[in-house]
Amino acid sequence: MDDIRITTHTGKAARPFLNEIARLRIAVFREFPYLYDGSLDYEMDYLEEYVSSENSLIVIANHGAEIVGASTGIPLAEADSEFRKPVEAAGFDARNIFYFGESVLLPEFRGQGLGHRFFDEREKHAMNVGFRSAGFFSVIRAEDHPLKPAQYRPHDIFWKKRGYCRQDAMIARFPWRQIGEPLETLHRLVFWLRELS
C-alpha cells in the first residue's frame, strides 16, 4: 500500500472528483453481486447527494494520478428514502445512524488492506460529526445465481469481524438495470448495523 495515497473529502470539496468516481463505480458494480449496467448521468445525479451534504464523506484512493478506489458515507436521514424506510420501519431513528453508501476498488488493488482503511475513515468521520451508529446495505443474491463466479467470496465475514450485524428484518428494494436486461428491476438489499465506540 506504500504507493496508494488516501484522501478524505467532505461535501462540496469532493465535487472535482465526481466524474472519475462515477466511472469507477460503473466499472466495479458491473461485477457480481451487483451486476449493474450503469450510466454516467445517473451516477453523477446520485453522487450529487454526497456533495450537497455538509456531513458527508468521500474517501479516495489514488495510485499516482489515477483514482483506483472510493468509499462514501452520509447521514442516513439525508440518504435516499428507500434506504431509510426499512430502518425506520424497524423502529430506528434515521437521524441517529450514519450510512455507508458503497466502497469500490479496482481488482488489482484488492487484498491490501484498503477495505479496512475505507471503514476506518468513515467510522472516524461518523463519530466526529456526532454519530454513534453506522450501517450499510448489501445486495442479496441466491447462492446458485447463474452469474456468480466460481471464485466469488461474499464479504460477510469481513463485515462481522468489523462488528457489523446483519439485520434480516431490514430489507430495502432498489431499482437498477442489470447487465443483459432491457429494463430496471427491483433488487433486495439487507442492512448491516454497528454501534460505534
Q: How many domains does the chain divide into? A: 1
SS3 annotation, 65-121: CEEEEEEEEEEHHHCCHHHHHHHHHCCCCHHHEEEEEEEEECHHHCCCCHHHHHHHH
Pairing of strands 97-105, 133-139: parallel
Reported as a single tens digit per residue, the pLDDT across 150-185 is: 999 899 999 999 999 999 999 999 999 999 999 999
- Would you call 182 helix, strand, or coil by DSSP? coil
pTM: 0.94
Q: How far apart are CA 197 and CA 127, in angstroms?
A: 8
Which domain range does residue 31 map to?
A: 4-195
Reported as a single tens digit per residue, the pLDDT across 81-136 is: 999 999 999 999 999 999 999 999 999 999 999 999 999 999 999 999 999 999 99
pLDDT at 197: 80
How many alpha carbons lie under 13 Å from residue 34 in its C-beta half-sphere? Answer: 19
Q: What is the CATH number of the domain that holds 146?
A: 3.40.630.30
Sign of CA dihedral 29, 30, 34, 40: positive
pLDDT at 1: 62
Q: How far apart are CA 21 and CA 71, in angstroms?
A: 9
